[in-house]
């Protein structure tokens, strides 16, 4: 249990560093920035305690906001994703083995490429939509916001896909 927590925290720290040091400096077309922060939340296994999932998501969001000076935006979006992640996972994951279901971990190989990409796509889309709308906080620059949402979703999806390829191959 403790090991799981430590692993999760270390994984989050790595993602956080990549996000803050590298990805936050990416601004394609001036507005598109990938948000890899969605990844640790999407990786929560099925059957995880929902309250702990919410608290983890919230904590990740607060730490991310502290580093990137986006107070409230990351926290709000992370907590929201923590709420809907179990439902999203149930929607795209297989249900054929009840015994394994409780410990089912979503990844490229356990879910299959198609299902995983669909799962990650909707997770990224929701995350980018909420984050960018909060960031813009008005609808006068809606076109730029839509570009940021669409571009960021695709870019993050690509990064998650290659990260999955690298991490899972090593295992």
The interface mask with another protein, positions 76-105, x = CB under 8 A, is x--xx--x----------------------
Can you tell me which of 1, 29, 51, 143 binds another protein, judged by CB under 8 A? 51
Q: What are 109's two structure tokens?
A: 């190989």
Alpha carbon separation from 97 to 16, 48, 86, 103 (Å, rounded):
34, 17, 17, 11
To another protein, the closest distance from the beta carbon of 146 in angstroms equals 20
Can you tell me which of 15, 32, 36, 61 binds another protein, judged by CB under 8 A? 61
Q: Quickly count: other Cβ atoms within 10 Å of residue 51's Cβ.
A: 9
Q: Which H or E run contains 167?
A: helix 142-170
Q: Is 33 in the site for another protein (CB under 8 A)?
A: no
Q: Is 34 in the site for another protein (CB under 8 A)?
A: no
Alpha carbon separation from 94 to 4, 46, 107, 132 (Å, rounded):
23, 11, 12, 31
- The smaller minimum CB distance to another protein, of residues 42 and 73, is found at 73
Contacts of 40 (CB under 8 A, 6+ apart): 8, 11, 12, 15, 60
- The smaller minimum CB distance to another protein, of residues 56 and 116, is found at 56
End-to-end CA distance of the chain: 20
Q: Is 58 in the site for another protein (CB under 8 A)?
A: yes
CA distance 108 to 45: 13
Q: Is 63 in the site for another protein (CB under 8 A)?
A: no
Q: Is 166 in the site for another protein (CB under 8 A)?
A: no
Stretch that binds another protein, among 35-43, 71-79, 87-95, 102-110 (CB under 8 A): 71-79
List residues near another protein by CB under 8 A.
50-51, 54-55, 58, 61, 65, 71-73, 75-76, 79-80, 83, 134, 137-138
């Amino acid at each position: 249990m403790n090991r799981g927590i430590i692993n999760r925290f270390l994984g989050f720290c790595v993602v956080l560093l990549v996000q803050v040091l590298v990805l936050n400096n990416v601004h394609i077309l001036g507005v598109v920035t990938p948000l890899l922060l969605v990844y640790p939340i999407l990786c929560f296994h099925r059957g995880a305690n929902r309250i702990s999932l919410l608290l983890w998501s919230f904590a990740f969001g607060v730490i991310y906001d502290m580093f990137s000076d986006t107070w409230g935006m990351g926290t709000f979006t992370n907590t929201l994703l923590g709420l809907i992640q179990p439902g999203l996972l149930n929607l795209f994951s297989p249900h054929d083995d009840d015994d394994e279901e409780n410990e089912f971990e979503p990844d490229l190989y356990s879910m299959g490429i198609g299902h995983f990409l669909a799962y990650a796509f909707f997770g990224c889309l929701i995350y980018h939509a909420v984050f960018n709308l909060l960031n813009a906080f008005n609808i006068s620059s809606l076109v730029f916001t839509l570009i940021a949402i669409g571009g960021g979703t695709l870019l993050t999806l690509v990064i998650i896909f290659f990260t999955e390829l690298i991490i899972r191959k090593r295992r």
